[in-house]
Amino acid sequence: MPRKLKSPYLPFGDQQTAPWYGKDILSVKPFTRADLDYIFGVAHDMRIMVERIGTFDLLKGKILANLFYEPSTRTSSSFMAAMQRLGGAVIPISEVKYSSVAKGESLPDTVRTLACYVDVIVIRHPEVGSAALAAKYAGKPVINAGDGAGEHPTQALLDCFTIREEMGRLDNLHVTMLGDLKYGRTVHSLARLLTRFNGITLSYVSPESLRMPHEVMDEVAEKGLPQAEHTTLDKVLPATDVLYVTRVQRERFEDPLLYDKVRDAYIITPDVLAGAKKEMIVMHPLPRVTEISMACDEDPRAAYFRQMEYGLFVRMALLAMVLGKA
Ligand code: ASP
């Protein structure tokens, strides 16, 4: 029987009774309204701390492995910045082709390895369910940073935090999701998460071939939210409070011709915004390609760059929570 090593990295000083201590964040499904209020409260505190002092030592001595099997700019760098702003360290593995993955190592073995060295693992992977698989083997908290066309829970949390900070509320809103609702994982998570709030109406605008998946619509229907599908934006835009635009996910198309057919299905321009409410906000998980014209960027309703900044505070909150410091 092999000797079981006692970890030299015992979590001294962690609040092991903290509600999210040691938990994985794989999907938005487990989050209740009370959880969301708590996370947004912590994120708000993080914002104040970053604005006042920049970097502080809440996670000093903790290490994050940032394991990215798919391209990322915002998610990977904001998790790194979040850990470093909290005084922790990061092992970034973004170029998996330079790791043992290129030698054929399986995902379970890779996460088992990293779990020997770090306290928390953030993973992005092209397959649905990959984060859950990683969590099974890690023995350390795993945070899903996007599993193929599945979910992107931390994006949905930061999206809701953005709405709260920008609109001053998360209830009684008409949210319109536009673009690639089939492959866009952020809208799958966001639609689910919005069911926790009151008075939300959801409109989905997409080409016929990129409609919101049935399982997401069924979950929304079970919670009793009004939802409707459209192929054009003009009818729903005047009533919209939050316009959530998405990129057509080229990397998920098997047939490039099908991608070419829908790639420019919708383009938000200043002319389009002229037909929207003055207090509406435009969000986008980014990167944008052609779906929002750069001419919209100076419009005060364009919230997509501010949205990135809110992401830092939410990811700081989540790291602190799963590591027992919040
Ligand atoms: N950055 C987001 C994601 O990883 C959105 C996108 O790629 O279009 O899902």
Return the H-helix or E-strand segment holding 169: none
Contact, 110 vs 99, CB < 8 A? yes
Q: Which CATH class is domain 33-151+309-322?
A: alpha beta
Task: Note the pLDDT of residue 9.
Answer: 47
pLDDT at 100: 80
Segment 187-198 mean pLDDT: 98
Q: What number is the average pLDDT over the span 49-76?
A: 96
Per-residue model confidence as pLDDT tens digits over 162-175: 999 999 999 999 99
Binding site membership of 141 for ligand 1 (Cβ less than 6 Å): no
Domain 153-307 sits in CATH at: 3.40.50.1370
- Average confidence (pLDDT) over 234-252: 97
Ligand 1 atom with minimal separation from the 73 CA: 1
Identify whether 30 is preceded by a cis peptide bond (ω within 30 of 0): no
How confident is the model over 88-117, as a mean pLDDT?
Answer: 89
304: pLDDT confidence band, cut at 50, 70 and 90? Answer: very high
Residue nearest to atom 8 of ligand 1 (CA): 247
Whose CA is closest to atom 2 on ligand 1? 285
The pTM of the full predicted model, rounded to 2 decimals, is 0.94
Average pLDDT of 237-256?
Answer: 96
Average pLDDT of span 285-313: 98
Given a cut of 60, whether residue 290 has pLDDT beyond it is: yes
Bridge-based pairing of strands 200-205 and 173-178 is: parallel
Average pLDDT, the chain: 94
One-letter amino acid at 270 equals P
Q: Given this model, what pLDDT does residue 11 score?
A: 52
> What are the domain boundaries of the chain?
33-151+309-322, 153-307
Cα separation, 45 vs 73, whole angstroms: 25
Planar angle of CA 320, 244, 20, nearest 5 degrees:
20
Q: pLDDT digits over 5-35, tens only?
A: 444 444 556 667 788 999 999 999 999 999 9
Tokens (6 digits) for 149: 């066309």
At 240 the pLDDT is 98
Q: Rounded to the nearest 5°, which phi and psi values hold at 266?
A: -135, 135
On the question of a common fold for 33-151+309-322 and 153-307, the answer reads yes
d(CA 44, CA 201): 26
Of the residues 70, 182, 247, which should be mutated to test ligand 1's pocket, given the most ligand atoms within 8 Å of the CB? 247
Q: Is the CB–ligand 1 distance for residue 47 below 6 Å? A: no
Share of the chain above pLDDT 90, in %: 90
Q: Which atom of ligand 1 is nearest to the CA of 124?
A: 4
